[in-house]
Structure 1
Amino acid sequence: MRKLTKLVSVTVFSGTFLMGCSPASENTDATGANNANSANTNSNHVNLYSSRNEGLIKPLLDEFTAETGIQVNLLTGSGSGLLSRLESEGANTPADLFLTVDAGSLHRAKEANLFQPVTSETLTAAIPSHLRDSENHWHGLSMRARPVFYSLERVNPEEITDYLGLADEKWRGRICVRSSDNIYNQSMVAAMIEHHGEAATEEWARGLVANFARNPVGGDRDQIHAVASGQCDIAIANTYYFGGMSLSDDATNQDTVSKVAIAWPAQETTGVHVNVSGVGLLQAASNEENALRLMEFLAQVSSQTWYAEVNSEYPVNPAAPWSETLESWGEFAADDISMSILGENNAAAVRLMDRAGWR
């Protein structure tokens, strides 16, 4: 268990690379024709497929280009859509790097034999071993925690001890969480299987389902809004969504933030469940040197600081400072389970959630 504490363009959308593509969020499908092979006739570029929204990655890519002169051609879409595209393109893909969210998704890409291992002293020094693939096929770039959000009006945070306690009958009809087909929930259950065993985790999942205030619907933001509106008293969600709401000028977001707070569960046991966004070098990459330079750039302190300040995500590089928003939530003990395990246990987690009636 690792204690998290505060530690003291040039990039453009190439018209031919992204013909017909529009910037997509992490939950949209990959779209657009791909003529990158004919578009990029010089070697001073790198091609990136990313499930991150354009606004959550492009400023860093612009900075990379300004610093190195290497053009980044970016294609955005959903993680699953881009993964299917990479499998379809095979050795003919123009992509050099695949960046996506959740260790489970990164593991799927590794299992599909899309990544190659990377040897880099820079990455090894910047990224703790449990936040990268055990064989260095992919490396974490930012970290998000998945704690419990509670109503300031209806819940005493001392009632929230650990994840297992969420199956207690006192929470009957009081919990909101998104569906079991969400990779964030699958990875959380995968971690619980590793810590507590499959039988105990299934018993917990059945109790959690019995405590749902409603059938799972919507994304993480919707769960937090539901707590504020009184549809439920607590919710499980990723911290960076709450960070985005906190920094928003939207009146609804601000109203929700004023009524909801974060409780850090499992502080005396496993630590809060955490996950990563990450990147891998593709087997078919034709610009390996430039791709590695971009990977190392994204792991450096200045880039990691940007992730914290703009995206409200925790840096994977311990040398990078937290943003004011992250600091305001306080320090916490984080689960230091290897991110690789989240992918390895994914299939078991999905079957378990289905048996428990988590829809």
Structure 2
Amino acid sequence: MVLATGASVAFSANAAEINIYSDRQAFLLKPILDAFTKETGIKVKVVFAKKGIIQRLKSEGKNSPADLLLTSNVSNLNRAVDAGVTQAVNDSVINANVPAQYRDPDGHWFGLTTRARIIYASKDRIEPGSVTRYEDLAKPEFEGRVCTRKGDHTYNIALIGSMIAAHGEAEAKAWLEGVKNNLARKPQGNDRAQVKAVKEGVCDIAVGNSYYYGKMLNNEEQRAWAESVNLIYPNQDDRGTHVNISGMTMTKSAPHRDSAIKLMRFLTEDTAQRIYAEQNFEFPVKPGVTQNKLIEGWGQFKADQVSLAEVDKHRKRAAMMVNEVGYNQ
């Protein structure tokens, strides 16, 4: 694998190469792409950029050298579709490996890993069983006891979108107002900062992605934060826990389409699924793939079966709700 950052990189027109644009960090991709090259002889070049990839694809148009876009969050994938920089792929292998709720109905994007949006609850101050659903975050008894990052962050927008899908707009907005009223402080920081706030007694309940628990346990400074909380997979007695994805889409230009499809298939098969998920403490999107011992120790959970395409349809309305209830103020 060849990694480049920024805007300048020399891509080859060689059919035995694939060019990727990615906002996922290099360490997550390298072992998988190295394995793909070893198996197929096809080299893979990657441009990593935290922001601006979709705009770059639009600017390059039909002359873009990129074959695939790898990104995190279904909203990013749909933004690429909306920007007109993707093309549909209808492949029986990929479709068999990726459950329908984790791929675009029209074949423009496919999930690769999933992550759960979970509740972190203080071991000392939250009675087990008192918080079991997202809906519980709005209960009056938790006034001043909840911490989250900003409401308009893409992780929370997707969660709000899932609440709209489950309850409709009016009830979802009332829920969001309730959560806002229960905040212990102005929304700030990232997901790990919320767990740190629980450890420090700023709040008793936090919302965050599941993979951060693994990251904190493997960080000497942050291990105590993780050890101060219980993990709660919400809504196990009804619809299941909201999950999001990292995923892939083929670009509209895709100069190496056949080779790119080979890589897309490879990324959805058992070996790549296991490696990719383990790198970031995520869950494989393909059912039945073995997980590492640490993730298995978190227990099995039921995921919400609603299509992420359906959840993302509510993205704009969810963002409006955040402003309407003054969530970040």
1:201, 1:273 → 2: CA distance? 14
Q: Which residue of 1 aligns with 2:163?
A: 192
- Which one of the candidate residues 84, 109, 113 is aligned to 2:55? 84
**Displacement after TM superposition at 1:293 (Å):** 0.8
**Displacement after TM superposition at 1:34 (Å):** 4.1
Does the CA-based 8 Å contact 2:145-2:184 persist in structure 1? Answer: yes
- 1:273 aligns to 2:242 (yes or no): yes
**Residue pairs, 1:171-250, within 5 angstroms:** 171-246=142-217, 248=218, 250=219
2:138, 2:152 → 1: CA distance? 20
**Residue pairs, 1:22-171, within 5 angstroms:** 31-36=6-11, 40-78=12-50, 80-171=51-142
2:270, 2:214 → 1: CA distance? 20
Equivalent position SS for 1:262: strand
For residues 115-151 of structure 1, give each alpha carbon's deviation from its aligned partner in whole angstroms, at most 9, with x where no partner exists: 1111111111111111111111100000000010011
Equivalent position SS for 1:157: coil
Superposition CA RMSD, Å: 1.2
**Displacement after TM superposition at 1:161 (Å):** 2.2
**Displacement after TM superposition at 1:167 (Å):** 0.6
**Residue pairs, 1:301-316, within 5 angstroms:** 301-316=270-285
Equivalent position SS for 2:302: strand
- Which one of the candidate residues 287, 305, 329 is aligned to 1:318? 287
2:56, 2:202 → 1: CA distance? 39
Q: Which residue of 1 aligns with 2:2?
A: 12
1:290, 1:352 → 2: CA distance? 43
Q: Which letter does structure 2 place at the counterpart of 1:145?
A: A
Does the CA-based 8 Å contact 1:157-1:263 persist in structure 2? Answer: no
Q: Which letter does structure 1 place at the counterpart of 2:8?
A: A
Does the CA-based 8 Å contact 2:9-2:47 persist in structure 1? Answer: no
- Which one of the candidate residues 211, 224, 230 is aligned to 1:255? 224
Moved >4 Å (runs of 4+): none
Does the CA-based 8 Å contact 1:45-1:72 persist in structure 2? Answer: yes
TM-score by length of 1: 0.89
For residues 272-322 of structure 1, give each alpha carbon's deviation from its aligned partner in whole angstroms, at most 9, with x where no partner exists: 110100000111110001111111111000111113333211111002112
Equivalent position SS for 1:148: strand
Equivalent position SS for 1:277: strand
- 1:338 aligns to 2:311 (yes or no): no
Q: Which letter does structure 2 place at the counterpart of 1:160?
A: V
Q: Which letter does structure 1 place at the counterpart of 2:41?
A: G
2:39, 2:306 → 1: CA distance? 35
Which stretches in structure 2 are left out of the alignment for 5+ residues? none
* Number of residue-to-residue matches in the alignment: 328
Of 234-243 and 84-93, the range deviating more from structure 2: 84-93
**Displacement after TM superposition at 1:158 (Å):** 0.5
Counterparts in 2 of 1:65 and 1:164: CA distance versus 1, 3 Å: same
Q: Which letter does structure 2 place at the counterpart of 1:318?
A: P
TM-score by length of 2: 0.96
For residues 102-123 of structure 1, give each alpha carbon's deviation from its aligned partner in whole angstroms, at most 9, with x where no partner exists: 1111111111121111111111
Query: What is the aligned-residue identity percentage?
Result: 38
1:180, 1:253 → 2: CA distance? 24
Q: Which letter does structure 1 place at the counterpart of 2:195?
A: I
1:245, 1:306 → 2: CA distance? 19
1:140, 1:308 → 2: CA distance? 12
Q: Which residue of 2 aligns with 1:4?
A: none
For residues 82-115 of structure 1, give each alpha carbon's deviation from its aligned partner in whole angstroms, at most 9, with x where no partner exists: 1121122222211110111111111111111211
1:333, 1:207 → 2: CA distance? 25
Q: Which letter does structure 1 place at the counterpart of 2:221?
A: T
2:159, 2:61 → 1: CA distance? 31
1:157, 1:89 → 2: CA distance? 53
